[in-house]
Structure 1
Amino acid sequence: MNLPEFEVPVSELRWSLDPAAFPFSTTRELDPLDEVIGQNRAVRAVEFGLGIEDQGFNIFVCGAPGTGRSSIVRTMIRKIAAGRPTPPDWCYVHNFKAADQPKALSLPPGKAREFAREIEKLIGDLKDEIPKVFQSKDYETQRNKIEEDFGRLRDALTADLERKAHLFGFQINSTRLGIFAVPLHKGKPIQPEEFQKLDEATKRDIQTKEKELSEDIRTLVGQVRRLREEANARVQQLDESVVRYATEHRIEALAGKYPDLPKVVEHVHEIHADVLENYKDFLPQEESPIQIPGIEAIEPKRFDVKYRVNVLVDHSESKGAPLVEETNPTYNNLIGRIEKKSRLGALYTDFTMIRAGSLLNAGGGFLVVNALDILRSPFSWDALKRIIKKNEVKIEDIGELYGFIATGGIKPEPIPVHVRVILTGSPLLYYLLRLYDEDFAKAFKVKADFDTQTRLTTENAVAYGRFIARLTGQEGALPFDREAVAELVSNEVREAENRGKVSLRFSEIADIIREASHWAHAEGRAVVAKPDVRKTIDERRYRSNLIEEKIQELYEEGTLLVTVEGTAVGQVNGLSVFDLGDYAFGRPTRITARTHLGRAGVVNIEREVRMSGRTHSKGVMILTGYLGGRYAQEKPLSLTGTLAFEQTYGEVHGDSASAAELYALLSAITEIPLRQDLAVTGSINQHGEVQPIGGVNEKVEGFYEVCKAQGLTGTQGVVIPRRNIRHLMLKDEVVDAVAAGSFHIYAIDHVEQGLEILTGRKAGEREPDGRFPEGTINRTVVDRLTAMAEKQKEKPAEKAAEGPEKGNNGEKPPSPPSPPTPEK
């Protein structure tokens, strides 16, 4: 067995960027980065989505948080928006024909606020001017003339009646109850007793004349009423003429400012008509509301509210198309709302209480919303899709819209809106929406996929330096020297887990830059150096690795059982990764296997107790397939083998331990001991090929820490898939240990290579007769399986004793398929 053949050279354990490759000494010499690094696909998609104006080409920006997706999209939108025309302003005004349906007016950008001020000034001027014209001498003269004409005509009619009454021997008396003709006797009103003493002929004469005069009085009253009505009409015409005289030139002057806006001109004329009709509202009011003790004062309703202008969207300060980012996309924040006020326990509202939402503010421009936020907010998602489809915003009370409450509220006129919506979210959320929301694909036709890594080139490495130059210049942080930049790039290569790639998680990178600047400043340096970047990375790890330290203590105390010396049968050290979100680390786990006579095949204990994830269960079934294909071509597998991850109390995910599980199982079958000073990671396929796995750096470093704590012997190491060599970016301490011969990294392509490393024996290849050479591991496996099959034949009753077979090599029948869920 030639171990050096499989050992990974020290030069392959970590990639480091040579600072001499940089054409600068410090980032102060570089131009700040003004382009996007490594996101060509996403940038092209965003440019397309922002450029096309057809309906439905809204953008869903996919990508992991921290890749700079939001800041990149914002920057691109601002550049495009600056060259777009500024959209119009919008306002609501009173509808004089239907008060519960406010009208929407569109004005050129910046004109809505100006229009509101002009209307306010107009009404203010009318409040001053209208009372003045009614107090003018000219008005008073004309009003008096009308009253004098009325009085003269009324007096003439009254005089005629009085003359006739005098001839008839009557006098006319006017009281509160009306006008009466009273008969006279000897120049005085006749008394009832005197009237009774008169002869019958005189009585009949008086009664006849009284009846005639009563008819004349009724005629007089009708004539006076008509004269009064004519006088009032003349007064009304006079009032309207003076009000028109006082207002018309102002109205026409205001309307003349908006010759190209017919709806605005129409509204101004409607205001004029209402003022002419209700001019008395502008006159001083003598009555005041009665104050009832113990009840809050009632503010009198202002008559001029209906003349106000409620500016919803104001672009007076805008240049180009708007960019709105809605961070709290509730229904009201997104669509708008109708506010209400309380008066004596009753709610009321009017058009001045209508407020615009983000969609109206972003009209003619761009709206950026987090997809998860809008989906969490009730009613917002459906409202957004409805507006995208209809291209109009209808502001409604959400309680009335969904029938929660029934009130006689207002119904504002819908406002047309054309806005490009940009949603940001995870790829998982994008695919779920595509799968379960039939409207999503029609509303968001452009997908912009932001990558988490890009190719490592000299150009991209220099771009990192320019990014540092931009950030430090914007925030006043210290510049980086070339060694510090190289160290930062090397760290991001490790984060990408691929030597040919570099991470694009610019949010985290920016924090590292800020922290490194802090540590350099604390050391009194004017430029960030390599040790400052190293310290930043170490400090960030230290702030997050409390759990790692606690688990390490369990290994050191012997609570977690792991053997790093000697050999053992049916036992191997597997490797797993603990991902805490902000920090990940690896640790060894003891994997054990036991075999005995039976027909259950390989039993995954974790699956039996429902602690096995799908990918882990798949890995166990794959190694079962490998066993059958390699060793059971002539006879069936007549054994029951159990596999377990010892001292694990949560679900086991992933198939990266399938190689280690196979080694433990083969050792249990053959009773050939395995080296315990080595740990194994790698998944296998049914042909025995070892496949790459994730977290290789964390796994190697985790086993190294355990070995170091128990004492390095010089033989300890880790067996990894050869295809993972390009992913190695180990810590300097581990690299130094390997260079000193204290620790070893072995890389394999096939499981049998790992089997030879762990046992020190040849695996063996089939000879022409189909048999494996004597003394090889594979020969021992076949011999033991054959012997177990023979013993199985000798116990025909065992099958009945064990009960019905489960099928699937001892596994429970698979459950019905469920919708696919992405694996980590």
Structure 2
Amino acid sequence: MPKPSPLAPEQLRAVCPPDSIPFADSREIPAGEAFTAAFQPRAISALELAISLTGREYNVYLAGDAYLGRTYFLKSFLTPVAAKAPTPPDIVFVHNFDDEDRPRALTLPAGQGRRLKAELCKAVAAIREEIPTRFEQEAHLSKRQGLARAFQSAREDLFAAMEERAQEQGFNLDVDEQGGMTLYPLIEGKVVSDEEYERMDPDTRKILKAQGDEVMNDMGGYLRKLSSEDRAYRERDKKLDQETSAEVADFHLAPLLREFEEHADANAFLRAVRQDVIEEYEGFLAKEAPAAPQGHPGDQGTTAEGLIARYEVNLFVDNSRTAGAPVVIEDHPNHHNLLGCVERESDYGALYTDHTLIKAGSIHKALGGFLVLRIDDLAHGGQAWEGLLRALRSGLCRIEDPTEGDQVRTRTIEPQALPLTAKVILVGSDEAYEMLLYGDERFQKLFKLKAHLQDHIPRTRENEARLLPLLGRVIAEAQLKPFSREALAGLIEQASALCDDQERLTLRLPLLRELMCEASALAGIRGKSVVDADVLRQARDARFFRANLLEEEFIAEYDREIIKVSTSGSAMGRANGLSVRMYGDFAFGLPHQIACTVGVGHGGILDLEREAELGGPIHTKGMMILKSYLVSQFAQDKPVVLTGSLCFEQSYAEVEGDSASGAELAALLSALSGAPIDLSYAFTGAVSSSGAIMAVGGVNQKIEGFYEVCKRRGLTGKQGVMIPKDNVVSLMLKEEVVQAVKDGQFNIYPLTSIEEAIEILTGLPAGSRGPDGKFPEGTLFRLVDDRLAAMAAMAAKWGGRNITLEP
């Protein structure tokens, strides 16, 4: 098997030639769309379908990882769509004159709600001012005086008839100013005084009393007629006041009634206001409100203040400045902000509310349009999620007061529910989607469409050209300094570096935007008017410098040789493995020495990481695959009888993944064969049961980590890293590493099998079994096979007792 050749420098990083950028700088990039349909075909397909479908169950869940610009993507997609949609109506809440605890909702064309509120406020203010004035005018007073005179004349006529009737019966009728009546007997035409009456004999008094009672009974008819006249007078007086009030109300309300004649609900409300003004005119005559209200403004219905509160229009949703359908992005979706609420005010310690204190939530402001919510925000919104699901399930937006536990409910109102006409779009991760999908059956019924965002696209010339307008839009919107052609090419390369893939471009544009903003600021510090390639590289290096403190501290431990990892020389049963550490959002690679010991026995290979409970399940599986490979290669004609151990030396953190299984197998084969491993190399790759080397993650960080240690100790030209061949496409190494390879100071080898790794690490061919079932002399596998045979024989001789053998 030929020894693998190291990778050429151009294979280590997919560069973007500046001459492939068709613009001298970003100022020449034409203004493009906020997104390209080809970048997110699945998400756009779902959103377009959601817009076309009606029904409250066809809401959308936009799934994607962070830093994909999910909300910005939605806003960019929905804004032009919403601009072409009809503008939804205004919504106002008004007093319900039939049931004050259930305010009514009126819908009006956009802008008319604000006009109704303003014009009705002016009309009511004018009515309040004019009614008292009208009642004091001569014409009104004259009519009232005429009614009073007519009533007084009729009253006097009745009293005169009553007196005449009493005299005919021998009594005198005395009527006081309060309308009280007293009968006095007449004897010989003279009125009998109380003293004279008391001196009469009892029989005479009895006769006079009986006659007086009879006279009073005769007066009943006159009294009823007098009472009827009094009621008639009061009714005529009230009717006169109401007619005057009606004239005032009609004068000021007639223009509004004509303006809103085509809007039946608004017209009916205005007519109810007119009727209430007429019926409650006395409230406009009251000089002052009561000293202490007894509940809420409804208790002040006889005062001008209470009446004005009843006639006030609550502009609940104002679309006067909305062009097209609304796109509402709620970033704090608690119950009140999302679903609305009924507020209360305190007056003299009493809480009250009315229709003017009904406040809209985001779901109401989005009616007729789109409501965008982040699922992470909803998770902290208390009862908002339950309220949202109830609204979607019922198709109605109800404004409710949430109660928790034993909370005491205060007196409230029940506003009219509104039809839910908004399309709800939830934004979250795939993990959150699965939790909702399997944890709440209502979610699947109400969010039937999933819009899935992808985080990368193929790196083609066409997609690079599509990415440039997006970068230009970022520069324009953030008001950054122009980017030169070379800097734009560097951004294309960075888009691949963020993917760790030469054939892909990231769609995590917010991460690119962060670098672009920092590069623009750095250009300003350097006194440059344009961001060039050097400034962009400096900005990238500065980001790395700000984040790599922990890496520096680890590397310092390698410099001081506190962490024992050799980058030169050779050792038996030792190999340099590579790992990736992640602290926050910063990842870096570090080399580790993998050590293996073997001896005679039946214990097998012991995974010390697992025994110390530091090894994860995937790492354990890698160890099992390693053992299965050993059995498949060397247990064909004899039992594999050995005991031994494998471990990461000086590693005290948890170990997970199988990327070190190739290096572990190399250390094991070295320990069995006695062939030393060249420690100038580090090895990363997962091994299969057939010995194939498979792709791993974090290959760029691993290579750069080993390179950094080697550089500090002095590059010899022999050092390098062996990686799976399948990972070559993942290489987006720093320019420094690429230059070191170009200068012949560092090497990177692509591997397809453990046999290729063995040949590089030990200098011996691995070998393959011949027709006789034996490995050729001088091969590493022959040394391993002979050693295992000797160990099997010794184990049989010593009865299985563990004996460590020196090679």
Q: What's the TM-score once normalised by structure 2's chain length?
A: 0.92
Q: Is the 8 A contact 1:573 1:676 kept in 2?
A: yes
SS at the partner of 2:593? strand
Residue 374 of structure 1 corresponds to which residue in structure 2? 378
Residue 744 of structure 2 corresponds to which residue in structure 1? 741
Deviates more, 1:227-236 or 1:307-316: 227-236
1:670 aligned to 2:673?
yes
Deviation, 1:576, is 0.8
Question: In structure 1, how many angstroms separate the alpha carbons of the residues matched to 2:366 and 2:406?
Answer: 28
Question: In structure 2, how many angstroms separate the alpha carbons of the residues matched to 1:288 and 1:309?
Answer: 24
Residue 40 of structure 1 corresponds to which residue in structure 2? 41
SS at the partner of 2:106? strand
Question: In structure 1, how many angstroms separate the alpha carbons of the residues matched to 2:505 and 2:801?
Answer: 59
SS at the partner of 1:368? strand
Q: 1:603 aligns with which of 594, 603, 606?
A: 606
What does the per-residue CA deviation read over 1:771-824, in whole Å, with 9 as the maximum and x for residues that have no partner? 22234222232333333334444566869xxxxxxxxxxxxxxxxxxxxxxxxx
Letter in 2 for 1:576: S
Deviation, 1:704, is 1.0
Deviation, 1:194, is 3.6
Deviation, 1:621, is 1.9
SS at the partner of 1:783? helix
SS at the partner of 2:501? coil
Equivalent residue runs for 1:73-222 within 5 Å: 73-166=74-167, 170-175=171-176, 178-183=180-185, 190-191=192-193, 194-195=196-197, 197-198=199-200, 203=205, 206-222=208-224
1:387 aligned to 2:391?
yes
Q: CA RMSD in A?
A: 2.8
Q: Is the 8 A contact 1:100 1:409 kept in 2?
A: yes
1:443 aligned to 2:474?
no
Q: 1:265 aligns with which of 246, 264, 267?
A: 267
SS at the partner of 1:334? helix
Deviation, 1:634, is 4.1
1:406 aligned to 2:409?
yes
Question: In structure 2, how many angstroms separate the alpha carbons of the residues matched to 1:202 and 1:283?
Answer: 56
Question: In structure 2, how many angstroms separate the alpha carbons of the residues matched to 1:285 and 1:611?
Answer: 84
Question: In structure 2, how many angstroms separate the alpha carbons of the residues matched to 1:288 and 1:200?
Answer: 56
What does the per-residue CA deviation read over 1:346-390, in whole Å, with 9 as the maximum and x for residues that have no partner? 322111111111111011111111121112322222222222232
Question: In structure 1, how many angstroms separate the alpha carbons of the residues matched to 2:107 and 2:137?
Answer: 40
Residue 61 of structure 1 corresponds to which residue in structure 2? 62
Question: In structure 2, how many angstroms separate the alpha carbons of the residues matched to 1:385 and 1:200?
Answer: 90
Question: In structure 1, how many angstroms separate the alpha carbons of the residues matched to 2:599 and 2:221?
Answer: 130
Q: Is the 8 A contact 2:600 2:800 kept in 1?
A: no
Deviates more, 1:204-213 or 1:646-655: 204-213
Residue 821 of structure 1 corresponds to which residue in structure 2? none
Deviates more, 1:307-316 or 1:173-182: 173-182
Residue 8 of structure 2 corresponds to which residue in structure 1? 9
Deviates more, 1:788-797 or 1:156-165: 788-797
1:311 aligned to 2:315?
yes
Residue 760 of structure 2 corresponds to which residue in structure 1? 757
Q: What's the TM-score once normalised by structure 1's chain length?
A: 0.90
SS at the partner of 2:441? coil
Letter in 2 for 1:72: F
SS at the partner of 2:259? coil
Question: In structure 1, how many angstroms separate the alpha carbons of the residues matched to 2:436 and 2:289?
Answer: 63
SS at the partner of 2:722? strand
Q: Is the 8 A contact 1:369 1:423 kept in 2?
A: yes
Residue 340 of structure 1 corresponds to which residue in structure 2? 344
* Distance verdict in 2 for CA 1:598–1:409, change over 3 Å: farther
SS at the partner of 2:14? coil
Residue 19 of structure 1 corresponds to which residue in structure 2? 18
Residue 277 of structure 1 corresponds to which residue in structure 2? 279
Deviation, 1:588, is 0.4
Residue 455 of structure 2 corresponds to which residue in structure 1? 452
1:531 aligned to 2:534?
yes
Deviates more, 1:761-770 or 1:436-445: 436-445
Q: Is the 8 A contact 1:131 1:284 kept in 2?
A: no
What does the per-residue CA deviation read over 1:490-544, in whole Å, with 9 as the maximum and x for residues that have no partner? 2322222221222222112222222222333333333322211111111111111
1:31 aligned to 2:30?
yes
Question: In structure 2, how many angstroms separate the alpha carbons of the residues matched to 1:554 and 1:287?
Answer: 82
* Distance verdict in 2 for CA 1:27–1:237, change over 3 Å: closer
Question: In structure 1, how many angstroms separate the alpha carbons of the residues matched to 2:626 and 2:432?
Answer: 34
* Distance verdict in 2 for CA 1:416–1:201, change over 3 Å: closer
Question: In structure 2, how many angstroms separate the alpha carbons of the residues matched to 1:57 and 1:167?
Answer: 93
* Distance verdict in 2 for CA 1:751–1:185, change over 3 Å: same
Residue 568 of structure 1 corresponds to which residue in structure 2? 571
Question: In structure 2, how many angstroms separate the alpha carbons of the residues matched to 1:646 and 1:659?
Answer: 16
SS at the partner of 2:581? strand
Query: Structure 1: where are the runs of 5+ without partners?
Result: 292-297, 800-824
Deviation, 1:687, is 1.2
SS at the partner of 1:745? strand
Q: 1:556 aligns with which of 545, 556, 559?
A: 559
Deviates more, 1:118-127 or 1:130-139: 130-139
Q: 2:226 aligns with which of 221, 224, 227?
A: 224
Letter in 2 for 1:352: T
Q: Is the 8 A contact 2:673 2:781 kept in 1?
A: no
What does the per-residue CA deviation read over 1:581-617, in whole Å, with 9 as the maximum and x for residues that have no partner? 4322111012222233443433322222332223222
* Distance verdict in 2 for CA 1:440–1:203, change over 3 Å: closer
Residue 803 of structure 1 corresponds to which residue in structure 2? none
Deviation, 1:100, is 1.2
Deviation, 1:26, is 2.3
Q: Is the 8 A contact 1:6 1:748 kept in 2?
A: no
Q: 2:327 aligns with which of 323, 329, 332?
A: 323
Q: Is the 8 A contact 1:49 1:57 kept in 2?
A: yes
Question: In structure 2, how many angstroms separate the alpha carbons of the residues matched to 1:508 and 1:568?
Answer: 43
Equivalent residue runs for 1:470-619 within 5 Å: 470-619=473-622
SS at the partner of 1:483? helix
Question: In structure 1, how many angstroms separate the alpha carbons of the residues matched to 2:716 and 2:398?
Answer: 76
Residue 812 of structure 1 corresponds to which residue in structure 2? none
* Distance verdict in 2 for CA 1:791–1:349, change over 3 Å: farther
Q: Is the 8 A contact 1:765 1:772 kept in 2?
A: yes
What does the per-residue CA deviation read over 1:381-440, in whole Å, with 9 as the maximum and x for residues that have no partner? 22222222322200100118x874333311111101211222222222223323333232
Letter in 1 for 2:630: L
Q: Is the 8 A contact 2:34 2:73 kept in 1?
A: no
Q: How many residues align?
A: 791
SS at the partner of 1:589? strand
* Distance verdict in 2 for CA 1:307–1:209, change over 3 Å: same
1:431 aligned to 2:434?
yes
What does the per-residue CA deviation read over 1:690-741, in whole Å, with 9 as the maximum and x for residues that have no partner? 0111221111111011112222233221111112122222222222322333
Question: In structure 2, how many angstroms separate the alpha carbons of the residues matched to 1:501 and 1:44?
Answer: 22
**Sequence identity of aligned pairs in percent?**
36
Q: Is the 8 A contact 2:593 2:649 kept in 1?
A: yes
Question: In structure 2, how many angstroms separate the alpha carbons of the residues matched to 1:437 and 1:234?
Answer: 67
Question: In structure 2, how many angstroms separate the alpha carbons of the residues matched to 1:667 and 1:714?
Answer: 24
Equivalent residue runs for 1:349-364 within 5 Å: 349-364=353-368
Question: In structure 2, how many angstroms separate the alpha carbons of the residues matched to 1:204 and 1:30?
Answer: 121
SS at the partner of 1:496? coil
Question: In structure 2, how many angstroms separate the alpha carbons of the residues matched to 1:436 and 1:467?
Answer: 38
Q: Is the 8 A contact 1:468 1:479 kept in 2?
A: no
Question: In structure 2, how many angstroms separate the alpha carbons of the residues matched to 1:397 and 1:267?
Answer: 26
Question: In structure 2, how many angstroms separate the alpha carbons of the residues matched to 1:198 and 1:425?
Answer: 106
Q: Is the 8 A contact 2:588 2:705 kept in 1?
A: yes
Deviation, 1:462, is 3.5
Question: In structure 2, how many angstroms separate the alpha carbons of the residues matched to 1:651 and 1:453?
Answer: 30
